Amino acid sequence: MRVAVLGCTGRMGIAVVKAVVDSRGAELSGALTQPGHAMLSVDVGVVAGVANTGILVTSDLGVALDGADVVIDFTLPAAMQSNLAACRKYKVALVMGTTGLSEGQHAMLAEAAAEIPIVYGRNMSVGVNVTTELARLAARYLGADWDTEIVEAHHRHKVDAPSGTALQLGEAIAKERGADLSAIAVYDRANKSAARNRGEIGFSSIRAGSIVGEHGVLFASDTEIVELRHQATDRSVFAQGALRAASWLEGRPVGLYGMPDVLGFNT
């Protein structure tokens, strides 16, 4: 499997490059960064701190995608439209882990999935997706009478809050309860002077230091507390999950898939 990495000079891009280099079933075919970057035309292995790969960093999407079987994209939302258009043009399967997408951008993904196979996940960690499935099952058996709070923590540079993973957890819980998350989510209690409403899902975000990613879900009744917690200690977990998704996606029919499909939760 030949893999092109978009955003190869970012924190996640470097982690993906390392994962591909270390894997047995994948090889790098292209590496993209933004125009004007200091690492343009440098071997992407040097950028990632591994052995030379023979793949030079480029800002040309056509060059980066040439010969790729699957693209792995962890760039920013601003780059999503052009990256998606290029994957459609060259008919290359796409694994996208970009968070903070707008409703319109999610619609673009769905439209593109009519032409190419896509796995989209706001968190590619296998552990996080297992935690999401456990949260869904907890919501089924505990019910809406149990208060639910989601707490997440990330490094100081993360710009979106709550995190995409926190929203993923909230959406899974709300859906299991037959509710729309937008109708029951509470993101800020600072200006509230009322008791908690039944069925609310509260969110709290922490931004500090170099925290890779921590997520906790708390279910509480008057007499019991159930907690689920996931902690990522190294960014490589997201890269390994993305590579697993890429391997699963290769050769799949067109469509929009998620990590639950990759992990077999939907079968």
Block means of pLDDT (10 residues each) for the chain, 267 residues, are 96 95 94 96 95 95 96 94 96 93 94 97 93 97 95 94 94 96 93 86 96 97 97 93 96 95 87
Please give the single-letter amino acid code of residue 109: L
pLDDT confidence of residue 179: 96
Q: What is the pTM of this model?
A: 0.85
Question: Residue 238: what are its φ and ψ, rounded to 5°?
Answer: -70, -40
Q: How many CB atoms are closer than 10 A to CB 10?
A: 16
Question: So which residues are the catalytic ones?
Answer: 154, 158
Rounded Cα gap, residues 131 and 126, in angstroms:
9
Domains of the chain: 2-120+235-263 (3.40.50.720), 126-232 (3.30.360.10)
pLDDT confidence of residue 208: 97
pLDDT confidence of residue 132: 96
pLDDT confidence of residue 181: 97
pLDDT confidence of residue 184: 96
Rounded Cα gap, residues 39 and 47, in angstroms:
7
